[in-house]
Amino acid sequence: MRTDKEVIAEIENLIVMQIQPSVAMHGGKVSLHSFKEGVATMFMSGACSGCASSAYTLQQGIEGMLKYYLPEVKSVEGVDDENSDVAPYHTE
């Protein structure tokens, strides 16, 4: 079993390589807020903060991916950026 430090490094790598490019297309930004006792808490900012679809992104996208690659991850939670001034629905 990996240490928390190793799991955090893997989570951050997956965010950079897989997750962030997808959410960035919609004006969002996701980063790891914390990892404790199998729970990865993601900081949702940009268009992800306050977006109704962010719960779906967290559970179906991010949580599914992290649990697939990292059995140490048991669940994923989100924390919105309270200071975000970006509209949660990105339009071109």
pLDDT, one tens digit per residue, over 3-42 is 999 999 999 999 999 999 988 887 888 999 999 999 999 9
Beta-sheet pairing, 75-80 with 28-36: unpaired
Mean pLDDT for 69-82 is 88
pLDDT at 82: 67
Ramachandran class of 75: left when φ > 0, alpha when ψ lies in -120 to 50, beta otherwise: beta
CA angle in degrees (0–180, nearest 5) for 83-8-5? 125
The residue with greater pLDDT, 88 or 73, is 73
Summarised one tens digit per residue, pLDDT across range 37-60 is 999 999 888 777 666 777 778 888
Structural domains for the chain: 4-80 (3.30.300.130)
Reported pTM: 0.82
How far, in Å, CA of 71 to CA of 38, rounded?
A: 9
